[in-house]
Amino acid sequence: MKWDDVNCGSSSYLSIAQCSYSTYIDYGCVNSNSYDATVYCYTTRIWNSNPYAGMVRLQDGDYSNEGRVEVYCNGQWGTICSDGFDSTDANTLCKQLGYDSSSFFHLSTDSNDSLPFWTSNMYSTTNDLCFKEHNNCPNTSVTSCSFSNSVSIQCTDVAAFTRLNIEQDTCAKFPDLLHATNGTIILSRNNTSSASYYYGTVRVYDNGWGNICDDYYFDSAEANVICHQLGYTGASSYSRAGLTNYGTDYLRMKWDDVNCGDSDYLSIFQCSYSTYIDSGCVNSNSYDATVYCYTTRI
């Protein structure tokens, strides 16, 4: 017997490594294998029932925690090119699958040459939990990578006392925008973004998606500029997520101290801002800036 007292805080966890357990085995289990836990799984695969853009899976490994990395984009599973791929990227993919890190990554020896490459030069930070935090599905596949250069990884649980709070739908909630570039603004309600929204929580893309902290500087000028960028004549009101019914966002804070010198600016990138986030905004999404734009187009 290896583990006892296994306790998973959520049935939506993706890995047993996210659950607590004890290596001290109760007397009854020590002396009898009749207490070995057994399960009978449904035959439906998670990735076949409701795949989302940016979903990740491992294929053709000896165990479920290793194999060729595949990403779901444009309605089809594809692979990741090894160009620019490093251990930080591997860790992000493993975190998305419920593990806290990767033990190694390498070129796949069992490549599926029928699959497209969806990503080359993947970019991640050490804080990322999901592929789509800094990467987007492309319109077309990458053609400059050979099939022998698809990536395989092995995931592991190193920090036994650090449990990832990531569930099946955590990474599905990131905005599904093709070719988002720095300066892109979109509004979100209940963790769903749409280019048609004229009110909601503000999301900004600056080498990855994030929110804007509503602090001392954020007022009508900044709200007006955001609405201008979205194509509206201005903001009828502004607030913070904790005071609205738009739902609490899950993204990390990206900008703080946004200050627009002119409320007639057309882009938030004309304004000054800081990437150093005050402690109040770091620890709470209730300070996410929200706007309510007039429906009249510029």
Q: Is the pTM of this model over 0.95?
A: no
Please tell me what DSSP assigns to residue 70: E
Average pLDDT over every residue of 83-95: 93
Burial class (CB in 10 A: 0-12, 13-18, 19+), 214: buried
Long-range Cβ pairs for the range 3-8 (8 Å, 24+): 4/29, 6/37
CA pair distance 51, 169, nearest whole angstrom: 10
Share of the chain above pLDDT 90, in %: 41
| pLDDT score at 37 | 93
Name the pairing type of β-strands 101-107 and 209-212: unpaired
CATH superfamily, region 180-293? SRCR-like domain (3.10.250.10)
Average pLDDT over every residue of 162-175: 74
| pLDDT score at 240 | 87
Residue span(s) of the chain under CATH 3.10.250.10 come to 46-157+164-171, 180-293
- pLDDT above 80 for 110: no
Architecture of the CATH domain 46-157+164-171:
Roll (3.10)
Going by C-alpha positions, the residue among 111, 119, 63, 112 that lies closest to residue 92 is 119
CA pair distance 134, 128, nearest whole angstrom: 8
pLDDT (tens digit, 9 = 90+) per residue, 31-75? 788 889 999 999 888 888 788 889 999 999 899 999 999 999 989
